[in-house]
Homo-oligomer: A and B are copies of this chain.
Amino acid sequence: MEVSLKNNVSRQASYDCWLQYEKIRDHEYYNQYVAYSRGIAVVGDSPILKSALDELERGLFSMFGQKSTVYNEAAKEASIIAGTFESIPLEDYGLNKASLINMNEEGYLLKAVKDEEKIIVAAKSDKGVLYAVHHLLRLLQLRESLKQVNIVESPKNQLRMLNQWDNMDGSVERGYSGQSIFYENHKITTNLERIKDYARLLSSIGINAISINNVNVWKVETKLITNDFLPDVAKIADILRAYGIKTFLSINFASPIEIDGLQTADPLDPDVKTWWKNKVEEIYRYIPDFGGFVVKADSEHRPGPFSYDRNHADGANLLAEALEPFGGLVIWRCFVYNCLQDWRDRSTDRARAAYDHFKPLDGDFLDNVILQIKNGPMDFQVREPVSPLFGALEKTNQMMEFQVAQEYTGQQKDLCFLVPLWKEVLEFDTYAKGEGSKVKNIVNGSLFNDKFSGICAVSNIGNDENWTGNTLAQANLYGYGRLIWNPDLTSEEIAEEWIRSTFGQDPSVVEQIKQMLLDSWSIYENYTAPLGVGWMVNPHHHYGPNIDGYEYSVWGTYHFADRDGIGVDRTIETGTGYAGQYYSPNKEMYNNLETCPDELLLFFHHVPYTYKLKSGKTVIQHIYDTHFKGAEQVEELIEKWNGLRGKIDEIRFVNVSERFQLQLKNAKEWRDQVNTYFYRKSGIADENNRTIY
């Protein structure tokens, strides 16, 4: 019985992710704050405020073990008083609304008042109240002191979004955690409870928008915007709305043809315009606060304006005009490139494509269009430079696209904590308006004063019990939300928050896992494609090594390794000129072999294997060393994890252990294939005579 009970407990823990709210067993801490849990007031009864109240009750009960008395006004018996500035008598608690003027629409105040007898949870909007409640619960869950707590906080980014790449057959493109939680058998799921639980998780980390179907919109999915499915989409939107999350749909640009048999989807055709106008009206009848459309057009065989000799601005503006009266947005993806490239053609460079396509259109988009730009110019590799489109678009709304799903970073078998990668991107200085023009200040809209902006990412969840396949991959979803809420948080802070919320307060557990998370990106990079060259993965599924897997393909992803050297010459003088897409001094830094950072050397330059890196090693020795090291580091991760046995529940322990074994196998395969490939090609022996096959 004990075992099965324990299993149930930890199965629940797998499912609850970072919303564990473990019972407080520290008596001092308990006694200090238990009074707060006795009476709570949430003033107002909107669905969002109901969610806030629900979270508050649930969290407090779970941690303090007693049910709170709930008031629907700022009763004097209530210890926690939550509501908007309009609904709470701020002055009664010595608070001055004017002092909160700089807070944004989603910001909030958390403040202990009346000699710490009460905590005020106040915000401009209902959504802010919900975020504030989560903040308060997080503080308690992390066992932080609430003494004289006085927090004024606003999210740094406007749109904080997830893209589900879910298909209606139940599959998830690039999904590594089971099937879709949104669809099954070409219908919308009837398991709405799971969607609500997803919404809870997302609201707790501040996500406020989601697109619920794959950017590749296939036949059935095209009909999501018809009355076949809109009633069910509206049900999902209702659930998400109650957690402050707006619903978006990915659409098929050829919808007028495919849904209603129009002859064309030409964005300048009057019938097409009318069609979209009517379609959008129809959608808003079902979902009055519908977010808008996400569009992958003229990319990887998806239809788009190019078919009609129109450009991306024509295409996006068509939809934007229809959405504008309702406040809807068009999120237009910039992942556009020639996916039928001839490998023989060295002049075409996929890395240039987004900039080449969209920079000339800067200023041509309506102001409810946002261009969604992947963090790098290629496709979510373990190491890429930042897309030069960030900073290049001065008159166009733009947002960042990350990938929480670990497509090229271990597929949730291998551990790869991505927050450090994302931080590097956000901290990158584009010099678009001189020094300090960091990416984070572009995507938060401040540098170019964009009307709309933000960050989105491909989600990593599925219907696995623990949402993310590998339990440790929950850290990426958590970390993503926290980082885009506030990009100034450090990776360490985020990791520690997640671990303590997920696995509890044992300092040895926290330290061990934190180190593992923080090392993991570098470890993964060590045993995979070296020095920024990318790919070298198995075609189609993208897991495991295949050095020449894409070398003679149509995808524009080459390393050009020969017997003498490796790398892609993207310099201005002798290469594809890609380096010239950056502002100075980045342009010169990348363009110049001497100043190009080691980790991106092969992205920008073709060099001999004997080229000496800044580290002092030759390229070939670096390849050997990092690959031997990477596999060893995975063995160390396993040892560290084994040290945690008994300190965390068995279900989650085993879940991660199993995946580490897969990672080890993968790392050894990468090590041996990469080393053998380059030894065969270069003929240069490893200085340390380790085994190369």
Contact = CB atoms under 8 A, between A and B. Distances in A.
Interface of A: 343-344, 545-548, 552, 561-564, 669, 672-673, 676-677, 679-683, 693
A677 B683 CA distance: 16
Given A681-B681, A693-B343, A693-B344, A552 B546 contact: yes
B683 A564 contact: yes
A562 B683 contact: yes
Residue from A344, A546, A552, A680 having most chain B Cβ neighbours under 10 A: A552
A563 B343 contact: no
A57 B676 CA distance: 67
Residue from A561, A676, A680 having most chain B Cβ neighbours under 10 A: A680
B552 A680 contact: no
Nearest to A692: B344
A550 to B, nearest CB: 11
A234 B564 CA distance: 65
B344 A563 contact: no
Counted per complex, copies of this chain come to 2
A681 B563 CA distance: 5
28 contacts: A343-B693, A344-B672, A344-B676, A344-B693, A545-B552, A546-B548, A546-B552, A547-B548, A547-B552, A548-B548, A548-B677, A552-B669, A552-B673, A552-B676, A552-B677, A561-B680, A562-B679, A562-B680, A562-B681, A562-B683, A563-B563, A563-B680, A563-B681, A563-B682, A563-B683, A564-B683, A680-B681, A681-B681
Q: Which 8 A-B pairs have the closest CB atoms?
A: A562-B680, A344-B693, A563-B563, A548-B548, A552-B673, A563-B683, A563-B681, A344-B672
A87 B564 CA distance: 80
A352 B673 CA distance: 25
Contacts of A547: 548, 552
A344 to B, nearest CB: 4
A673 B344 CA distance: 9
Contacts of A673: 552
A680 B683 CA distance: 13
Contacts of A669: 552
A693 to B, nearest CB: 4
A561 B548 CA distance: 13
Contacts of A672: 344
A546 B680 CA distance: 17
A677 to B, nearest CB: 8
Nearest to A680: B562
A398 to B, nearest CB: 37
Given A344-B693, A548-B548, A563-B683, 16 more contacts: A343-B693, A344-B672, A344-B676, A545-B552, A546-B548, A547-B552, A552-B669, A552-B673, A552-B677, A561-B680, A562-B681, A562-B683, A563-B563, A563-B680, A563-B681, A681-B681
